Structures are given as C-alpha cells and as structure tokens.
C-alpha cells in the first residue's frame, strides 16, 4: 500500500472523467481530505489563490455547478464560465478538442458537464490541464459518487458489507452508474430496484460482472418470502465475501442478502430529458415512490435515504422530517468533497490525511486489451461523443476487447458494449485470398484466435467485403 503522501503526489495534474480513473486509495484520499475540510474550512481558504477554474456547463445544473464554483471560491481561486452552448463556438461547429486546447490555455482546471457521453474523456485528452467530469449525458457523474461515498462512510462508518438499493431510473441515471461501480469496488452489495422500463443498461451490468470480481444475480430468480421486503428487484451484485458459497449457490446467497434488508436507499428521479420514446404511457404506479409507508416496512427499518437531487414525485415530502432522510445534508457535503478534489488535482493540498480504516485497500481497473484493428465496427450508442458529426473529423472509434465466447468490445468513451456476430484472424492476411475465412462469433474459433489477432465484423457482408469467405464452424 502506498503512503498517503505518495497518493497525494500522484493525484496532482490528473483528470477525473470516471470513477475508474482513480484507485481505491486515491478515492479514499479525496474522502479523507474532504473530512478535514469539513472540520476546518478556514484552513483551506487560500490554498488555490492565483488558480483559475473554467466552469463549462452545457446541460442544466444547479447543485453541481454551484457547489463546484463555491468550492473554488472557498479555496481562494477564481472562475471563468460558460453555461450556454449556444453562446460558445461549439454552436459554430468547433470540435471539443479545439475548445479544450483553447480553454486549457486560459485556466488551470476545467469542470465540464455535457450531454454527449464520453465528452469529458475527450476534453481530458486534449486540454493539457486537469479535467473533472460533472456529468456526461447518461454515462457517469463521478464527483456525485464521491459525495455519495462520503455520506455513506460518515453515516454508516464503512462501505464494505453495506447493502445499498439503487432505486428508480437506473437506465438514464448517470449517478447510479458511477455509484454502482464504486460500491462494487469497496465491497458493498448493490440491489437494483428500477421503475418499470428503466432497468440498469446491459453494459453497466456487464461491466459489473466482468471487471469487479463479484457475482451478478438476475432478479427474476429472486423470490420475496413475505411480500414485504425489497423486491421486486432487477438484479443484485454481491462482493465475494464467501467466494466458495457464491460459486456454488449464488441465488441462495442473493436471497440471504435481501432477507437482511438494506442499509441505504439511493433514489433517483425519472430522467425525462434523456428519455427515448416509451411504448405506451408511463403509469405513476410503475415508478417506485419512497414514502413513510415504505420506510416502515420490513427491511427498511434502519435504511437511510439518499438522493442526488433534484427530486420530483419519487420522494415524498412527508419523509423530509425523518432523521434518516439525508439528501439535503448530502447536497451540502458536495462543497467540501469538491474542495478536496480540486485542491488535490491542482497540487495545492496543504495537508495529507491517512484514509479511514476500511477504505485503504487498493484496486486498479481490469486491464482489457485495446482493440487495434479498424474493421468498421462502430459504437452502438447514438449519444456517444464518437458518433457526433462535429467530432467524426478527428475522433476515431476506439474500443477495448472483452475476451470470451463470444468476444465483445466496449467503447473507450462511453462504455457501451456490442457483440459483433462475425470473427476472423488477422493472420489470414498472410494466406492466399481463397483461404481467408470468417466464422460465427459464438463458434469454437473465438477461443482459438489470439486476442491480438482477433478481427471483428458487424456482419458477414462486411467480412466478405474485406476479402473473407464463410468458414467451417
């Protein structure tokens, strides 16, 4: 384990475009410093004197924008801002890369919210200064996750072993995507309780199953014993505290987890601004509401209630007075958390604090090989930054390869996955044309071809246009 001093030095100059950009030690360092800021804010009032933060919010925001700007001002820094994309050169067709290069010469740090998924990662690649993702479409919201982790750790004293129910719009709610990944890394159990038609995207569940070492159990096999528990659920992710048990009886283990109730409800509103056309009318009863009656039911007696806000109808006003309702406190804690993050990325932190016990175990992202072959496959997400007309001029399609049968590719920018139906090997280019074969992705050839030689095509027609012929399955 690295010392706190080494972790702090390693954060200076870094960007934070997604929760997996930081190790567990690095996330823990931010949380530990945020606790110090909360205790003695005056000690941090001059640490960013002379620094300028560019606040670029191209989607509506109240809490996130104001908390970031408040955080920078309380650190003694200054601001430049843009909050209307129509008033910037982006409206004239300027690329994100060019904007990043320009703004990177004006400021010391960029905080950006943008409707395109993966946009923050592109800006981080080109700005030359630290970039913080304040929300990119329905993809991620990593600094909200820092606030959520800070609140959970403060209220429950730990993250490992907690059972957290993600509640509401899990399809478009970017806050729950980032939070699910972080909770899995810190050893929590994650219960997915969506509104009808708003289940967590398959690429989010797939990443949980592939990258974090736990067990993902689908909700249709989970039974509710007495009709009063947390179900219906869509899925449940368990960190392997007892790997042998999980390997042999994952569904029983999941039921035992659910029978113990949940430690926290993380509620999200319906993200209407990102909704695609729904089949039929959305009925109010299809969207779960947290109210006084629910909090009295079995399994919720000691649950705290969190919400990234703003709320609409999914969180009853009647529970505001319940001491377990912590969403306004959670919002206020966004300022010290963001003060800590900004000061660390700018290399201005005046002190180093050891992480709290239970938060220091290190974790690094799974290293998937980069898919290096240009075979014409494209990210299936129409909201991905790599699919936007202004960015197509310079931004390549970029994927990592998830090895398996069948193999999958994951978009570098937005994490959406696809399973190309046809595979071949790059070694075939050394063969005569008539011996170049392609095969179904679910055939035995998926395991026989080395990952670095694997060629993926979106269709047999594309494989044949590239000079391959049908092979033997």
Is 403 buried (19+), middle (13-18) or exposed (0-12) by CB count in 10 A?
A: middle
19: nearest Cα among 190, 213, 212: 212
- pLDDT on residue 92: 62
What are the sequence ranges of the domains in the chain? 4-138+334-345, 143-331, 370-470
How far apart, in whole angstroms, are the C-alpha atoms of residue 407 and residue 413?
19
Helix residue ranges per DSSP H, 296-407: 327-332, 334-345
Contact 142, 178 (CB under 8 A): yes
Cα separation, 142 vs 149, in Å, equals 11
pLDDT at 247: 45
Question: What distance in Å separates the CA atoms of residue 162 and residue 189, rounded to the nearest whole number?
Answer: 6
Question: Residue 62: its pLDDT value, please?
Answer: 87
Amino acid 238: pLDDT: 77
Helix (H) or strand (E) holding 216: strand 215-218
Kindly provide the residue ranges of all beta strands, DSSP E only, lying in 291-373, ordered along the sequence.
304-306, 370-371
Q: Do domains 4-138+334-345 and 143-331 have the same CATH topology?
A: yes
Can you give the pLDDT at residue 322? 87
Quick one: fold of 143-331?
Rossmann fold (3.40.50)
Contacts of 66 (CB under 8 A, 6+ apart): none
User: Do 72 and 335 meet the contact criterion of CB atoms below 8 Å apart?
Assistant: no
Q: What is the pLDDT of residue 240?
A: 62
DSSP state of 384: B
Edge-to-edge strands, sheet with 399-402:
370-371, 399-402, 408-411, 417-418
Tell me the two tokens of residue 441: 């992705």
Q: Which residues contact 181 (CB under 8 A, 6 or more apart)?
A: 19, 20, 207, 208, 211, 212
Q: Round to whole Å and give the CA distance between 262 and 193.
A: 12
CB neighbourhood size of 209 (10 A): 15
* pLDDT for res 79: 96
pLDDT, position 215: 81
Count the neighbouring beta carbons within 10 Å of the beta carbon of residue 107: 21
- The partner residues of 91 in beta bridges, in order of sequence, read none
pLDDT at 302: 87
Rounded CA-CA distance 233/191 in Å is 7
DSSP 417-428: EE--SEEEEGGG
> What is each CA distance from 229 to 71, 252, 255, 298, 330, in whole angstroms?
40, 16, 11, 6, 26
CA angle 35, 36, 41 (to 5 degrees): 110
Q: Look at residue 287 in the predicted model and tell me its pLDDT.
A: 72
- Written as six digits, the tokens of 411 are 């978009």
Distance CA 292, CA 319 (A): 6
Bond before 78 cis per omega within 30 degrees: no
Contact 102, 78 (CB under 8 A): no
Q: What is the pTM of this model?
A: 0.89
Tell me the backbone φ, ψ of residue 179, rounded to 5 degrees.
-65, -40
* E strand residue ranges, 268-338: 304-306
Distance CA 81, CA 56 (A): 6
335 with 70: CB under 8 angstroms? Answer: yes
**CA-based nearest residue to 158, from 358, 14, 336, 8:** 358
pLDDT of residue 259: 60
Phi and psi, residue 2, nearest 5°: -75, 155
Name the strand (E) or helix (H) holding 166: strand 163-168
Tokens 């990234």 correspond to what residue?
308
CATH for 4-138+334-345? 3.40.50.1370
Note whether 159 and 149 are within 8 A (CB).
yes
Give per-10-residue mean pLDDT for the chain (473 aa): 79 96 92 94 94 94 93 97 67 85 97 96 97 95 96 91 88 92 92 85 92 78 46 70 45 57 85 56 66 83 87 84 89 95 92 60 78 92 94 94 93 96 89 86 90 93 90 71
Q: What are phi and psi of 19, to 5 degrees?
A: -60, -30
pLDDT at 223: 45
Q: Strand pairing partners for 211? A: none
């Amino acid at each position: 384990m690295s010392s706190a001093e080494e972790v702090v030095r390693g954060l200076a100059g870094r960007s934070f475009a997604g929760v997996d950009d930081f190790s567990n030690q690095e996330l823990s360092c931010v949380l530990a410093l945020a606790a110090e800021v909360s205790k003695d804010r005056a000690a941090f009032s001059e640490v960013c004197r002379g620094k300028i933060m560019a606040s670029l919010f191209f989607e509506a925001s109240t809490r996130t924008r104001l908390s970031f700007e408040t955080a920078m001002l309380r650190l003694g820094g200054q601001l430049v801002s843009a909050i209307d994309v129509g008033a910037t050169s982006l409206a004239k067709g300027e690329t994100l890369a060019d904007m990043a290069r320009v703004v990177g010469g004006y400021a010391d740090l960029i905080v950006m919210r943008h409707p395109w998924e993966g946009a923050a990662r592109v800006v981080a690649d080109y700005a030359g200064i630290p970039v913080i993702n304040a929300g990119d479409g329905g993809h991620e919201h990593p600094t909200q996750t820092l606030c959520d982790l800070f609140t959970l750790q403060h209220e429950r004293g730990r993250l490992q072993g907690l059972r957290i129910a993600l509640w509401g719009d899990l399809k478009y709610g970017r806050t729950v995507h980032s939070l699910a990944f972080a909770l899995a890394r810190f050893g929590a159990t994650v219960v997915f309780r969506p509104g009808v038609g708003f289940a967590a995207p398959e690429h989010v569940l797939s990443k949980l199953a592939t990258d974090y070492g736990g067990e993902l159990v689908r909700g249709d096999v989970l039974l509710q014993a007495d009709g009063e528990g947390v179900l219906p659920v869509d899925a449940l992710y368990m960190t392997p505290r007892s790997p042998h048990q999980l390997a042999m009886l994952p569904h029983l283990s999941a039921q035992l987890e659910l029978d113990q109730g949940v430690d926290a409800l993380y509620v999200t509103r319906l993200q209407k601004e990102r909704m695609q056309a729904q089949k039929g009318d959305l009925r109010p009863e299809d969207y779960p509401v947290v109210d006084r009656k629910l909090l009295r039911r079995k399994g919720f007696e000691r649950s705290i209630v969190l919400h990234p806000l703003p709320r609409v109808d999914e969180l009853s006003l009647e529970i505001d007075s319940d001491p377990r309702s912590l969403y306004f406190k959670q919002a206020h804690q966004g300022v010290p958390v963001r003060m800590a993050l900004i000061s660390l990325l700018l290399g201005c932190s005046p002190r180093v604090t050891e992480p709290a016990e239970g938060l220091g175990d290190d974790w690094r992202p799974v290293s998937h090989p980069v898919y290096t072959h240009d075979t014409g496959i494209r990210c299936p997400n129409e909201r991905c930054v790599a699919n936007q007309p202004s960015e197509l001029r310079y931004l390549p399609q970029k994927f990592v390869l998830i090895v398996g049968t069948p193999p999958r590719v994951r978009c570098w920018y937005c994490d959406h996955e696809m399973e190309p139906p046809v595979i071949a090997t790059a070694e075939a280019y050394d063969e005569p044309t008539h011996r170049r074969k392609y095969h179904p992705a679910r055939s035995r050839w998926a395991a026989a071809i080395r990952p670095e030689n694997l060629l993926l095509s979106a269709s047999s027609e594309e494989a044949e246009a590239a000079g391959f012929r049908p092979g033997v399955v």
